[in-house]
Amino acid sequence: MADDAVRAPLPGAVLFACNFNRVRSPMAEALLKRALGDRIYVDSCGLRREATETGGLVDPFVQAVMAEISCDLAAHRPKTFGDLEDDSFDLVVSLTPEAQHRAVELTRGRAAEIEYWPTFDPTLTDGSREARIAAYRQVRDTLAARIAERFGR
């Protein structure tokens, strides 16, 4: 049987969620948009805002590794669950344990799927710039592979 014959239909709307919406979830959002264009609605959010001088921006290492694959995230502004204009998602993909708990609350009483994709936080990597960039690339590539596996069109 061909893969397409057993593959589930695409959800109409997907939300990626993590802690601050500055690293993992914006990467996943951009990767899925890159893979499927506007065939489905894709968004991302975090649990809370980061209280730093760069809290309103995507992490610079994220911008760098995503630019390597022609994804421009300069316009992305982190948002929380409360900032979402619509919360009618068919699929919520949580990338952290904390976001998984919030996804369960968000979808309670709704016909929405929840998937948990535990994803390493590359901001925890110490060392040289190259070592840190390598950690971000690994997260990007892991998310890209998972997206291709889950949504592979």
Q: What pLDDT is stored for residue 2 in this prediction? A: 47
Sheet holding 91-94, edge to edge: 41-46, 13-18, 91-94, 113-116
User: What is the largest distance, in Å, between two alpha-carbon atoms of the chain?
Assistant: 53
Beta-ladder partners of 115: 93
Q: What pLDDT is stored for residue 115 in this prediction? A: 96
Closest CA to 18 of 90, 85, 78, 105: 78
Spatial neighbors of 96 by CB under 8 A, at least 6 apart, are 17, 18, 19, 24, 118, 119, 121
Tokens of 30: 């951009």
Q: Does the predicted TM-score (pTM) go above 0.75?
A: yes
Tens digit of pLDDT at every position of the chain (153 positions): 444 445 668 999 999 999 999 999 999 999 999 999 989 999 999 998 775 555 567 899 999 999 999 999 988 989 999 898 877 899 999 999 999 998 988 888 888 899 999 999 999 999 999 999 999 999 999 999 999 999 985
Closest CA to 58 of 78, 72, 42, 43: 78
Closest CA to 46 of 10, 18, 5: 18
DSSP string, 55-102: TTS--HHHHHHHHTTT---TT----BGGG-S----SEEEESSHHHHHH
